[in-house]
Structure 1
Amino acid sequence: MTIQEKLKIIFCGHRILIMVILCLFGLSMVQSRQAPKKKRRAKTDERVYLIHADQLRFNQFSSNPEAQILNGNVAFRHKGAKLYCDSAYFYQASNSFRAFGHVKMYQGDTLSLFSDYAYYDGNNQMAEARHNVILTHRKTKLYTDSLNYDRLYGIGYFFEGGKMIDKQNVLVSDWGEYDTETRQAVFNYNVNLKNPKFVLTTDTLHYDTRTSLAHIVGPSEITSGQSIIHTSQGYYDTNKERARLYGRSTLTNNGKTLTADSLFHNDKTKISQGFNNVVYNDTVNKNQMTSNYFWYNDDTGFAFATDSAVLKEYSQGDTLFVHSDTMKVYTFNINTDSVYRKAHCYNKVRAYRTDIQAVCDSLVYNTKDSCLTMYKDPITWNANRQLLGEVIEVYMKDSTIDRAHVMSQALSVERLPNDTTRFNQISSRDMFGYFNNGEMRKTEAVSNVQCIYYMQDDKDSSLISMTYLETDTMRMFMQDKKLKTIWTCKQNSIMYPITQIPPDKKELPSFAWFDYIRPTDKYDIFVWRGKAKGTELKNIKRRSAPLQFINKDGVVSNKDEKPDATTTQGQPAAEAVKQEPEVTADGGNGIKEKQ
């Protein structure tokens, strides 16, 4: 064998030794993290004492020749406990006995154990009670047919079905245990907790009789009236009717479901809170809210959602997705025939549906009049059309749009098909839209109307001309999604051939195309994109009555004029002598003072 081969063997041996040491170290770490098991206490040497029996006899020819046969008012004592029965077999050598008939064991003044039969081992301090067993500890009672009670640890086990009654709670299961020291119980298999106000069913349940707190550790269902909770982990306070649920939990009530990673519910106040991946689904009204935090009061119908909040409305064939920083829903006249709701979405609202998209700072939807109102720089898109203004109101009918109203600085822009540089445009103070079965049938622009629209050849759809128009009122009538008729009152217009359009006439002064803001899909609603600088709506100064000053001589001056020392602000106009100038028509649309 060469030196190299010997070195290989040595190194391999070292590797194996290191791996074994690491494995043993890891195993010791795992064992150290495991909860230490309770060591069993040492057996007692104290003897079981026979206190009394009406009769005592031996029968060496019976099946129990080593037993003392006791009859009548039998009483035993052992380690602070007393046991009574009608008859018994006493095995003095093994420090045990079998008790028959009206078996009663008392330990102090807080615990008692009744049964028809019992076997007691004094060395292990173990009592095995059978048939019509009742374990009473303070105010808690446990009923079963088979119970083993370990006096060393104060734990009773039942394994053939049992029922525990604690205050107003009744717990039933196939198997369970009760610790008289900690006053905690564990129930397994077909567990049922009944209370006058709710029912809890599960396969594993921990219950604290001191606090009446149920610890859920397996798939469970809690039914309270019309509310149903499904969970697999959490706590339910049976006194306060409060649930703190972890894992994925769901609350269902009257066609509404609330699902979250963590769910807190108070059945007394009807308040629920959801944390992380929250889904609130209303199958009656066909809408859904998702967020990472959700707060809901079932009594008042108030809901609050924030952190990635999304409202999904699926009453139509397609789903509408609305996102904002915060969402609130108010319910009015709840539990009446005239109930209605108001939904508020505010801060960076973005909405998407395949046929319509919208962006605004805030919106309000009122189910009373089915009106959706968008505030602060609202923009809506439909196909290649864009609509914006200071405020947009949309009225719904049978879940479809019925009419719309754009208030102040209204602008409608339509991009021509297969052309990214030309747009049909209408601007006015106000704009109205009327729909039939969700399709626009009429549009009306009112006050300071400006319009640019392109004419197309009917044969090949090529552009022929562009018309610029100014008027006070304009109405457009649609049919089969196409413009059929345009009506205007007195108007000024000019038509340019398509090849002779001045560059400065292609766009209205208020023209803006915000395609870069438009939501592209249901995921894009989370990405906020504001308007480019300089494209915001103008702050228009509204006409208002000037604040006037009236002096003692009855002379009226405006606020921006400096009043003299005798001026009195706010004097009623009826007390002033007002001299209005005479006016006469100047032959045009204005008026002038008569000199």
Structure 2
Amino acid sequence: MILKKKQLARYGLILAGICLGWLLPASAQETKDDTTRVIHIIQSDKLNVITKDSVQLNRFIGNAIFRQANTLFYCDSALINRAANILDAYGHIHINQADSIHIYGEYLHYEGNTKIATLRDNARLTDNKIVLSGPELEYDMGARIGTYTQGGKLVNGSSVLTSQEGYYYADTKDVYFNNNVLLVDPEYTLTTDTLLYNTETKIATIMAPTTINDGKTVMYTTSGDYNTETGQGNFDSRPTIEDSTATITADRITMDKRTGLAFATGNMVYRDTAQKMTLLSNYGTVNQVNKTVLATQHPLMILEREKDTMYLTADTLYSAVIKRDSITVAPVKTAGTMPDTLTASVIPDSTATVRPDSITIVAADSTAVVPKDSSLALQPQPLAINADTSSAKDTSEIRYIMAWHHVRIFSDSLQGVADSVYYSSKDSIFRFYRNPVLWANMTQLSGDSIFLYTKNQQADKILLDQNSLIVKEAGPELYNQIKGNQITGYFAGQSLDWMHVDGNAESIYYIQDDDKAFISMNRTLSGIINIYFMEGELHHVTFIKDPEGTMYPFSQRPVEQTLLENFHWDIRRRPKSKYELMGDVKIKEEEPPATKTDQDF
């Protein structure tokens, strides 16, 4: 009993000496140094004083606890260099800074004067929400900044970020990642070289070329911010979004992955690689879920074809993708009825085939046109109108296009204007509405509505419905004209081959000799007219069903008979090049001229 009391007294003296040794230097430095730098001993199972390299060290073994200001240090054992104010701790390290930051590891080197802690071996830092870990962590107690430079990761909920270097700012909850940055989330992955991430807002600030991949779409960007929790992002510097069939790029893109909406501002380029369609605009809205795109500021659509690319512009352009088995496109409905096949009783006195070399002038004052050859050529029959040419079992996606107001199209073989256009790849028909006018090889085609059928990405057939009119300039102020209730034209290659005029067919055309001198003007009325072209030029005209015609010698043609009713020549509205549609050529869209009648002449 007496021996134990002596041992306790001895240990008490040692501890008292140590404590006095700590307190006295600390008291002497209070006027010079911050007292918060002093490392206080709270507890330890054992205490030894050792000397290493002439330096006196205090060794604490078993359940050691230390305190500096508002920070507690826990470990299995530790060495303290009082002269340098350095703590080296071993085993089950736990640093608790004001119950806000907790740091763990198996080894700690702590500089008490600079308040910088370096932890190794399963080192990790947490603020009770995130975990920052790596083979080595450095934490500045004063600045409250955690750093790793030998690789590490941050876990924030379901998101895991890894990089070669990382800097955690405890006060702002920002983490700066550098070199080989990878963010893995159950819904996407993000790869970059530099990233700023806020652990509270979960907003990633893009600072270098970055790729975001959710398995369906891929985003490429170099600057902007992305909310990793909500999927909302704002990206600058020409970001790009792409999926299996389409890509979108613009000066700036704002997106929401939950709704699938992306808003593109400034030089937007949307490309459907499957349909070979490109849409340019200064502003566009893209729905990545429904695969729709709406362009409202100077939009231009480019439809790529093997031999002839079509350019289409309007005030507003809209395009969407749907499955073939989810919609049925109704057949083209016209005011009249177009028969599937043409059947006509041909009699010699009811059909005339007029050619430049087949005219005989009976008398100088005669108005009759008599063909030299009354034989009739076999007439080709119009094709049946079939609105749905797709396979009944085809479930692949199709795209449709809608354009509103001031529509203008240009291709090498066809140009046109209209108020609105609808196109669907389900039936491959362009539908032009409200005062549409098309030009094919300088031949003007117009009607209340126009339906352009395409096949294998080329024009195949055209239907002019109601108030149909064909005009081609024969010479200065001279126009070959054909009108009827309905006009159906058929293409061979990229040129018109022949046209079928059905119902109240009328025509005015000029006959020229081999030297291109005008001989006469012919005006004819017939139930049906067929017009044939060769190399894009009018070759001959065939009249079927009760034709009535008048031929005027060219010099004696009545001025009031030179134009058909509702004649209009809109060549100034015709787009001249694709650059005009792109905006390189600024041309004010003119109003269509007032319709002229026979009474105006």
Residue correspondences, number: 493
- Give 1:499-538 correspondences, 5 Å limit: 499-525=555-581, 527-535=587-595
Q: For 1:58, what is the secondary structure of its paired residue?
A: strand
Q: Which runs of 5+ in 1 are unaligned?
A: 1-41, 539-595
Matched, 1:333 2:393: no
Question: Counterpart of 2:492?
Answer: 436
Alignment equivalent of 1:58, drawn from 49, 61, 64: 49
Letter in 1 for 2:238: R
Structure 2, unaligned runs of 5 or more: 1-31, 327-394
CA contact (8 A) 1:377 1:537 kept: no
Which amino acid in the other structure matches residue 56 of structure 1? L
Aligned 1:337-416 pairs, distance under 5 A: 337=395, 339-416=397-474
CA distance, structure 2, for counterparts of residue 443 and residue 335 of structure 1: 34
Matching residue's letter, 2:590: G
Separation in 1, partners of 2:484, 2:406: 26
Compared CA separation, residues 433 and 532, structure 1 to 2 (3 A): closer
Q: Are positions 1:269 and 2:259 aligned together? A: yes
1:425 deviates by 1.0
Matches within 5 A, 1:113-132: 113-132=103-122
The verdict on how the C-alpha distance between 1:43 and 1:266 changes in structure 2, with shifts beyond 3 A counting, is farther
Asked if the contact 1:248–1:259 (Cα under 8 Å) also holds between the matched residues in 2, the reply is yes
Q: Which moved more, 1:476-485 or 1:493-502?
A: 476-485
Distance 1:105 1:489 in 2: 103
* AA partner of residue 285 (structure 1): Q
Q: How does 1:538-549 map to 2 (within 5 A)?
A: none
From 546, 550, 562, give the equivalent of 1:490.
546
| Residues 413 and 494 in structure 2, CA contact (< 8 A), matched pair in contact too | no
Please give the TM-score of this superposition, normalised by the length of structure 2.
Answer: 0.78
Moved more, 499-508 or 528-537: 528-537
**CA root-mean-square deviation:** 2.3
Of stretches 428-437 and 245-254 in structure 1, the one that deviates more from structure 2 is 428-437
Whether the aligned pair in 1 keeps the contact of 2:525 and 2:547 (CA below 8 Å) is yes
1:485: Cα distance to partner? 5.4
Query: Cα–Cα, structure 1 residues 93 and 119, in superposed 2: closer, same or farther, change >3 Å?
Result: same
Query: What letter matches 1:446 in structure 2?
Result: D
In structure 1, the partner of 2:248 is: 258
CA distance in 1, matches of 2:246, 2:40: 65
Offset of 1:191 from its aligned partner?
Answer: 0.8
Match of 1:67, SS? Answer: strand
Change (3 A) 1:537 1:162: farther
Q: CA deviation at 1:309?
A: 1.1
1:191 maps to 181
1:233 partnered with 2:223: yes
Which residue does the alignment assign to 2:95? Answer: 105
Q: Is the 8 A contact 1:248 1:261 kept in 2?
A: yes
The residue aligned with 1:465 is 520
Q: In 2, are the aligned partners of 1:44 and 1:124 still within 8 Å (CA)?
A: no
Matched residue, 2:365:
none
Local SS of the residue matching 2:560 = helix
Give the Å deviation of 1:343. Answer: 1.7
Kindly indicate whether the alpha-carbon contact (under 8 Å) linking 2:105 and 2:123 is maintained by their aligned counterparts in 1.
yes
Q: Answer yes or no: is the 8 Å Cα contact 1:325–1:349 preserved in 2.
A: yes
Asked whether the equivalents of residues 564 and 597 of structure 2 are also in contact (C-alpha less than 8 Å), the reply is no
Alignment correspondent of 1:174: 164
Q: State the AA in 1 paired with 2:294.
A: F
Asked whether the equivalents of residues 188 and 214 of structure 2 are also in contact (C-alpha less than 8 Å), the reply is: yes
Q: Does 2:478 correspond to 1:422?
A: yes
One-letter code aligned to 1:517: R
| Paired letter, 2:137 | L
Letter paired with 1:405: L
CA deviation string 1:528-587 (max 9, x = no partner):
42335523899xxxxxxxxxxxxxxxxxxxxxxxxxxxxxxxxxxxxxxxxxxxxxxxxx
Aligned to 2:330: none
CA contact under 8 A between 1:377 and 1:536: conserved in structure 2?
no
TM-score, with normalisation over the residues of structure 1?
A: 0.78
- Percentage of identical aligned residues: 29
Label 1:55 to 1:401 Cα distance change in 2 as closer, same or farther (>3 A): same
Q: Greater relative contact order (Cα 8 A, min sep 6): structure 1 or 2? A: 2
Structure 1 partner of 2:366? none
Query: CA separation in 1, counterparts of 2:320 and 2:273?
Result: 18
Aligned to 2:289, the other structure's residue is in SS state coil
State the SS of the aligned residue for 1:88.
strand
| Aligned equivalents of 2:264, 2:565: Cα separation in 1 | 49
**What amino acid maps onto 1:397 in structure 2?**
K
Q: Residues 274 and 537 from structure 1, CA distance in 2 versus in 1: closer, same or farther, beyond 3 angstroms? A: farther
